[in-house]
Amino acid sequence: MAAEEVNPVEALLAEAYEAQARGDGTMTEALFRQACDLAGDDPEPWAALGEFLAGTDRPAEAAGALRRALEFDPTRRAWRLALAQAFSAAGNADAALTEARSMVEARPDDAAARRLLARLLLDAGAPEAALEHAREAAFLDPHALDGAIGLAACLVATGDPLAAAEALEPALRRAHPMDPERARAFTLLGRAWAGLDERGKAADALRAAIDADPEDAEPARLLAELEAGGGDGLSPAYVKALFDRYAERFDRDLTGKLRYAAPRLLRDALARVGPGTGLRVLDAGCGTGLAGVELRPLAAHLAGVDLAPRMVEQARARDLYDDLWAGDLMEAFERTAEAWDLIVAADVLVYLGDLRPVLAAAAQALRPGGRIAATVERLEVGEPFRLNPNRRYAHSEAHLRESAAAAGLALELLEPATPRWEGGKPVQGLLFVGRKA
């Protein structure tokens, strides 16, 4: 019986894989290229060469080899995915996006293509579009750790680190201890918790990332920054997440369990200093609009701004406001210079440390003679402000006076108040009204 003829291309590929297993990169590449020379219309050697070149950090050459393989067999989605990744690594973002979009259009249920397209869109500065594909990829392949990572990265970029942490934690619990993506997932989890001012949780996640991959410098750098950091206020992401999640039960808990009285106290105080009616009023940190009920009789135009979009939707349902939007308090003040006769911040400044920047910005947003009325929690000790265990700042009377003076605000009223209860006890606070000259 005649010996079976050996296919020279297959023999060269087998030798190439053996050389690759030995770590002989030079011989591996040479053998792959010899196989390509003999391949004819066989795409396998070109794909193998492309994957090898991608692994040796030569993405432009890898893309050329993978394109050649796909000329012979355009149906191989794994090669198309590798081609898009090679384009991206080579800096050809447009070609990578085109390839990834084409794959998703052809197969909307391809989770890997969705994940890649989400990453490419995020890199291109389109986080909202990226999030759509990342959510779909996570739905299609719910147990993939890299899917949770992609979704979390988009959520962090779109300002929702709490949802990012909620996506990553169960995925990490399910992940195999040897999964190479664990380090990246823990690093991203650390970023998410840091964005929420949960420094202990952030530090734990970053230490887990270091344990998973001691050679990765990023989590160690982030941990050092976290341990050295201070900050004069809770992050906007923390406050937004807190109140977005709390929006549905906010009114019930605040007026029931917490005996929230800040809006009524501020309205009574304003009646004493006599700002009149027919005013342009900004409810700063409007929440669900509880203060709007008290402010509406004073206002010819009542506007409200809050960091949490779900709170704004609750306020809109009251049909009290002439204008409502979701946004940052400082940005709202800066974009409405000399626009308001009255700014009210009921139980809002407790989420800021140093009051000097916010009162200065508020003063700029007031018309001459305009007023700001607000409540804070009172700090009795000598430091100007302190973050309490309940994640709310307390402020000293001296700091409040100094901050108002620096902003050009004359305090017409400064007195003790009980804006709310907590743990069955009244919260010791201060109420003030400052007037711009």
Residue 244's pLDDT band (boundaries 50, 70, 90)?
low
Q: Specify the amino acid at residue 240.
A: K
Task: Please classify residue 218 by burial: count the beta carbons closer than 10 Å to its beta carbon, then call 0-12 exposed, 13-18 middle and 19+ buried.
Answer: middle
Report, as an integer, the average pLDDT of 80-88.
Answer: 95
DSSP SS3 for 387: strand
pLDDT tens-digit profile of 355-379? 999 999 999 999 999 999 999 999 9
Give me the chain's average pLDDT, please: 88
Query: Which range among 29-43, 138-152, 235-249, 335-349 shows the weakest confidence by mean pLDDT?
Result: 235-249
pLDDT at 367: 96
**pLDDT above 70: residue 256:** no
Domain(s) labelled CATH 3.40.50.150 in the chain stretch across 237-436
- For the stretch 138-196, pLDDT in tens is 999 988 899 999 999 999 888 888 889 999 999 999 998 889 999 999 999 998 888 88
The class of domain 8-192 in CATH terms is mainly alpha
First to last CA, the chain: 108
Q: Answer for the pair 371, 340: CB distance below 8 angstroms, yes or no.
A: no
Tally of CB atoms within 10 A around 71: 11
pLDDT of amino acid 134: 95
> On the CB side of 226, how many CA atoms lie within 13 Å of its CA?
25
Q: Which of 1-5, 189-193, 350-354 has the lowest mean pLDDT?
A: 1-5
pLDDT at 131: 94
Identify which of 369, 145, 170, 206 has the alpha carbon closest to the alpha carbon of residue 276: 369
Counting Cβ atoms within 10 Å, is residue 128 exposed (0-12), middle (13-18) or buried (19+)? exposed
Contact call for residues 149 and 232 (beta carbons, < 8 A) = no
Class of domain 237-436: alpha beta
Full-model pTM? 0.56
Residue 94, judged by CB atoms within 10 A of its CB (0-12, 13-18, 19+), counts as: exposed
In 39-144, which residue ranges form alpha helices assigned H by DSSP? Answer: 44-55, 59-72, 77-89, 93-106, 111-123, 127-140
pLDDT over threshold 70, residue 341:
yes
Could you read off the pLDDT of 373-427 as tens digits, one per residue?
999 999 987 789 988 877 789 999 999 999 999 999 999 999 999 988 877 788 8
Stretch(es) of the chain classified as CATH 1.25.40.10: 8-192
